[in-house]
Amino acid sequence: MAKVKRAYFCKNCGYEAPKWLGRCPACGEWNTFTEEILARDTGSVPAAVAGKLPAVRPQRVGEIRGEERRRTGLGIAEVDRVLGGGAVPGSLILLGGEPGIGKSTLSLQIALAANGLRTLYVSGEESAEQIRMRAARLGIGNEECLVYPETRLENILSQIEEQKPDLVVIDSIQTVSTDTVDSSAGSVSQIRECAAALLRYAKATDTTIVIIGHITKDGIIAGPKILEHIVDVVLQFEGDGNYTYRILRGIKNRFGATFEIGVFEMLDDGLHGVENPSEILLSHYDEPLSGISVGAAVDGVRPYLIEVQALVSGAAYGTPQRSATGHDVRRMNMLLAVLEKRLGMKMFQKDVFLNFAGGFRVSDPGLDLAVVAAVVSSYFDRPIAEGSCFAGEIGLSGEVRPAPRSEQRIAEAARLGFRRIVVSGYLAANVRRPKGIEVLTVQHIGQLPRLLFAEE
């Protein structure tokens, strides 16, 4: 008899266990486990050998016929950029993000954009009236946009069949449910069933479907991670609620690179694409201030310049305070330890605060040099020479290593009119150094302080 593989899932958080548990070890909820069938095991004999020949046969890769997949622009430049030049018809796109970050706004803007696509905007979270009010605020460029407040999958699918839209937005997958599954909307099996049904529809009819998924604070798409495996493209919308900037990040893309990011600003009339992120991440001061440096960063493949602020002050208590906004505190502590050990700076007596402009979260090790420059500048209370920026990674022995994509960083700094950029002395000789910008090199952080400050 064929064996059936089963697993138990926590309805609350999606945790998977091989046996039933009374209490979920991940989220601590009681009585949330349900049994689900994962796959039917037909034994070790492949289906083909057992008499059922597969419909598709292996082919030589060069002989596979098929036209280049055309892409359709969604009418918002930053979104198309992240998708790699537009959406591929028939693809299922997951747009994830924390509540309130702007997923509904972005997807409604896509639906309303003048992209010539017949669009069905399905909302399980807002009424038609609420959507109309929001649409009026955003401006309607697409008269072909249909709004449909509904949560039952069967109804949604029959409307898709009737209306034959080119683009469908489902806001959100956690509110949609199908009659074939008993559990409530938002449960693991509901989400999985609905997403799988939408995927089949997207493929069969060449319709692009965007589904919105809520993400919990720790970055997990609430409910199942499984969703990420089903869909073709995963986009994540990020940002700090206290600031207006938002980043749209491609995490997975079956039809293109995943490294692109889109930058937006949330204003009263919706999200506006930011073509030059550097311009909003750099402040202009009348007088040079200490503790401020500029880092040449790269996020994915996109270079931008960002202001780094550090405040180093005498520690009032025995244990110095260390805090970083938008940056990994452990990385900062490592850099401070390197400064202490290699430059003899007395960091153990200092409180250190670090801040990146715009509420941006950065994890680019190429910003190490800029962080250290800001800390050194604040420590000695001397401003960094005007027009300088930094790109380099710092190792434990204080060596400065080339940052990935250094060429792009240098080019971006030159484009924005920076007069000099400090990079690693180990940078390959063939890296292009554009005219108009002085490229200074350091091999060890010990050589950094003398390059930092203007001659007096």
Does 124 bind ligand TYD (CB under 6 A)? Our answer is no
Cis check: omega of the bond before 378, within 30 degrees of 0: no
Distance separating alpha carbons of residues 297 and 358, to the nearest angstrom: 14
Pick what 268 binds: Mg ion, ligand TYD, none; C-beta below 5 to 8 Å, kind-dependent. Answer: ligand TYD
| Amino acid, res. 49 | V
Does 101 bind ligand TYD (CB under 6 A)? Our answer is yes
Chain center to CA of 411: 24
Residue of minimal CB distance from ligand TYD?
Answer: 104
Does 104 bind Mg ion (CB under 5 A)? Our answer is yes
Stretch that binds ligand TYD, among 46-54, 146-154, 266-274, 337-345 (CB under 6 A): 266-274
Distance separating alpha carbons of residues 383 and 367, to the nearest angstrom: 18
Per CB under 6 A, the list member of 104, 174, 278, 424 interacting with ligand TYD is 104
Among 280, 285, 310, which residue's Cα sits nearest to residue 390? 310
Does 222 bind ligand TYD (CB under 6 A)? Our answer is no
**Contact pattern from residue 152 through residue 191 relative to ligand TYD, giving x for each residue in contact according to CB under 6 A and a dash for the rest:** ----------------------------------------
Contact partners, residue 401, CB within 8 Å, separation at least 6: 392, 393, 394, 395, 424, 426
Smallest distance, ligand TYD to C-beta of residue 409, A: 32
Contact partners, residue 438, CB within 8 Å, separation at least 6: 419, 420, 421
Smallest distance, Mg ion to C-beta of residue 325, A: 26
Smallest distance, ligand TYD to C-beta of residue 99, A: 5
What is the b/e burial string over 12-40, where b = at least 16 CB atoms within 10 angstroms of the residue's CB?
bbbbbeeeeeeebeeeeeeebbbebeeee
Looking at beta carbons only, is 101 or 375 nearer to ligand TYD? 101
Does 219 bind ligand TYD (CB under 6 A)? Our answer is no
Q: Is the dihedral of CA 86, 207, 126, 233 positive or negative?
A: negative
Does 268 bind ligand TYD (CB under 6 A)? Our answer is yes
Contact partners, residue 430, CB within 8 Å, separation at least 6: none
Smallest distance, Mg ion to C-beta of residue 172, A: 6
Looking at beta carbons only, is 104 or 109 nearer to Mg ion? 104
Pick what 68 binds: ligand TYD, Mg ion, none; C-beta below 5 to 8 Å, kind-dependent. Answer: none
